[in-house]
């Protein structure tokens, strides 16, 4: 008799390695930690492999990004190697001032950086005024999947104006970073994430995570 886990794995048939970069300070019992753990549990049931990076728990931490540190720290190269070995990059964070958590934003600045993540090709390289005008060329992560999971404290309606102007983190990441690197993008979002969340709402959100994991 085939177990439920083995049945799900047979249905998937497309097992992937997923590198999760977790950027919430509470790595144990936060809502974001529940999203992470629920996703990992469901993804493993269908045969996906997980490489987890809890940024706040890392023994070695990246310095604040500086363009004059070149070559970058070895830790950056190690993170890039882990991404090269993965099929999916999954970024998880809460929203702070319409940005991801600073530790994850800093990680993005270091790791998803030219020329490894993308390079820039000028359309008019010899032009005095338009030499910097051109387009990005995807690098090491081209055609892989990029996922963002974001939690918001307010209800969905409170973010409509920001969304219209592309100021919410996912749209900024998708247009200015993920697309430059040639990533296929997916998005998980959770609204009204507060300490007093009702249990029924929490369970609905976790079911949403399970469904998302099965959809990959």
Q: Which residue has the higher pLDDT, 172 or 157?
A: 172
- Mean pLDDT of the residues in the chain: 88
Round to whole Å and give the CA distance between 158 and 88: 30
In percent, the amount of the chain with pLDDT more than 70 equals 87
Phi, psi of 17 (to 5 degrees): -100, 125
- Output the pLDDT for position 68: 94
Round to whole Å and give the CA distance between 138 and 166: 22
Q: Which range has the worst mean pLDDT, 14-23, 36-45, 123-132?
A: 123-132
Mean pLDDT over 41-61 rounds to 97
- Output the pLDDT for position 162: 56
- Output the pLDDT for position 150: 93
- Listed in sequence order, the residues at least 6 apart from 213 whose beta carbon sits closer than 8 Å to its beta carbon are 38, 39, 42, 43, 46, 48
Question: Is the pLDDT confidence value at 62 over 50?
Answer: yes
Mean pLDDT over 12-41 rounds to 93
Bridge partner list, 50: 18
Highest mean pLDDT among 58-72, 111-125, 156-170: 58-72
The enclosing H or E element of 106 equals helix 102-111
Tokens of 114: 């030219």
Kindly state the DSSP code that residue 174 receives in the 8-state scheme.
I
Query: Parallel, antiparallel, or unpaired: how do β-strands 145-151 and 134-138 relate?
Result: unpaired
Domain 14-215 CATH assignment equals 3.40.50.360: yes
Mean pLDDT over 38-49 rounds to 97
Q: Which residue has the higher pLDDT, 201 or 153?
A: 201
Mean pLDDT over 115-137 rounds to 81
CA distance readout (Å), 65 to 37, 42, 166, 180 = 29, 34, 24, 20
- Output the pLDDT for position 115: 92
b/e map 98-118, b = 16+ CB within 10 Å: eebbebbbbbbbbbbbeebbb
């Amino acid at each position: 008799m085939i177990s439920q886990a083995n049945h799900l794995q047979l249905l998937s048939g497309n097992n992937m390695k997923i590198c999760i970069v977790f950027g919430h300070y509470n790595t144990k019992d936060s809502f974001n930690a529940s999203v992470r753990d629920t996703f990992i549990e469901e993804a493993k049931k269908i045969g996906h492999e997980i490489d987890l990076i809890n940024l706040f728990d890392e023994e070695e931490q990246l310095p604040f990004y500086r363009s004059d540190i070149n070559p970058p720290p070895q830790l950056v190269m190690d993170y890039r190697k882990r991404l090269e070995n993965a099929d999916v990059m999954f970024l998880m964070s809460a929203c702070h001032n319409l940005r991801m958590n600073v530790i994850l934003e800093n990680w993005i600045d270091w790791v998803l950086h030219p020329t490894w993540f993308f390079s820039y090709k000028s359309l008019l390289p010899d032009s005095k005024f338009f030499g910097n005008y051109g387009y990005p060329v995807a690098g090491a992560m081209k055609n892989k999947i990029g996922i963002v999971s974001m939690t918001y404290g307010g209800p969905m309606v409170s973010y409509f104006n920001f969304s219209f102007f592309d100021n919410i983190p996912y749209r900024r990441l998708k247009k200015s970073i993920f697309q430059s690197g040639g990533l296929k993008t997916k998005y998980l979002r959770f609204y009204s994430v507060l300490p007093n969340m009702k249990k029924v709402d929490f369970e609905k959100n976790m079911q949403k995570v399970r469904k998302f994991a099965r959809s990959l």
